[in-house]
Structure 1
Amino acid sequence: MQVDYQQLNGIALAYLGDAVYEPFIRQHLIEIGFTKPTKLHHHATHYVSAKAQAALIALMQADDVLTPVETDVFKRGRNAKSHTSAKHTDVLTYRISTGFEAVFGYLQLTQQTERIAELANWCIQQVDEGRISSVK
């Protein structure tokens, strides 16, 4: 079965993208010395929470990091109708973070592994440099 990734809905892309982005964060946290589960989880929220992802996508837009196709995928994810609600944030922030995750899902499905690593490492650098405010 052939899937047209350009037509796949944003929620499906975000579902995959969440799983694609998070291993980069987990590996980074372990590499910088966090080993206890409570510390790992606490510090991971600075990278993977809806608020963090919304702040990161805003930086991506400000720094012109995304390609036109990635921007379109982000918008598709952001605008997708979700049947779940945000647990710890407002609906707009949740939708923006869905768009962020959709970009990673799209890149995974189109086998752009180098671009995934580039964007994930860029995001990690922004958080580590304090370019986004402390978020949870």
Structure 2
Amino acid sequence: MTHYGEIFSLPGEEIKKPEEIPGLALAYIGDTVWDLIIRRHLLAQNEMKPDRLHKRATAYVRAKAQADVAHHLLPELTEEERSVMRRGRNAKSGSVPKNADISEYRMATGFESLLGYLYLKNRHERILELAERSIAWLDERLSKERNGPA
């Protein structure tokens, strides 16, 4: 019996193979994966006030940031990963958040789809590898935005 995404799965729960799951459903779980990684990252920086945690997390999880990360990571992705990202990016959703344009939103959805896919394939090391690169890149960008160019 194969269990996909074994971390946090309840005994006896079976889901489809990640290859058979639609892009938006992969993005649904990938959004949570990214959110958890970012929350853990912020706690590791000793940020403990909930209002500041929320404000800082928003800079990482908003559609524009995720779309920028997706573009940044694209050259490093395998063909399989690019395909999953494309599948998520091209999925038609019913709505677009008011704070993102359609191209950013779709690219962010592709990024979330990739994380969801990797999570369900139990490729946690790959998720952390991509997250480490993404967060380092975002941290540098956010620092420049706060402090201005060096």
Q: Could you state the TM-score of these two structures normalised by the residue count of structure 1?
A: 0.89
Change in 2 beyond 3 A, CA 1:133/1:89: farther
Which residue in 1 is equivalent to 2:67?
A: 54
1:25 aligns with 2:6: no
Q: Match of 1:6, SS? A: helix
Question: Higher mean Cα deviation, 78-87 or 14-23?
Answer: 78-87
Q: Find runs of 4+ consecutive structure 1 residues off by over 6 angstroms.
A: none
Contact (CA 8 Å) 2:18, 2:120: kept in 1 or not?
Answer: yes
1:115 aligns with 2:130: no
Provide Cα deviations, 1:99-118, integer angstroms capped at 9, x if missing partner.
00000000011110111111
Change in 2 beyond 3 A, CA 1:26/1:73: same
- The 1-side partners of 2:144 and 2:66 are apart by 11
Contact (CA 8 Å) 1:34, 1:40: kept in 2 or not?
Answer: yes
Superposition deviation, residue 34 in structure 1: 1.3
Change in 2 beyond 3 A, CA 1:133/1:45: farther
Counterpart residue identity of residue 66, structure 1: L
Superposition deviation, residue 87 in structure 1: 2.5
Which residue in 2 is equivalent to 1:44?
A: 57
Contact (CA 8 Å) 1:14, 1:101: kept in 2 or not?
Answer: yes
Question: Higher mean Cα deviation, 12-21 or 122-131?
Answer: 122-131
Change in 2 beyond 3 A, CA 1:131/1:69: farther
Q: Match of 1:88, SS? A: coil
Which residue in 1 is equivalent to 2:96?
A: 85
Which residue in 1 is equivalent to 2:5?
A: none
Higher Rg of the two aligned structures: 2
Relative contact order (C-alpha < 8 Å, sep 6+): which is higher? 1
Contact (CA 8 Å) 1:25, 1:44: kept in 2 or not?
Answer: yes
Number of residue pairs matched? 132
- The 2-side partners of 1:96 and 1:120 are apart by 16
Q: Could you state the TM-score of these two structures normalised by the residue count of structure 2?
A: 0.81
Identity of aligned residues (%): 43
CA RMSD of aligned residues (A): 1.8
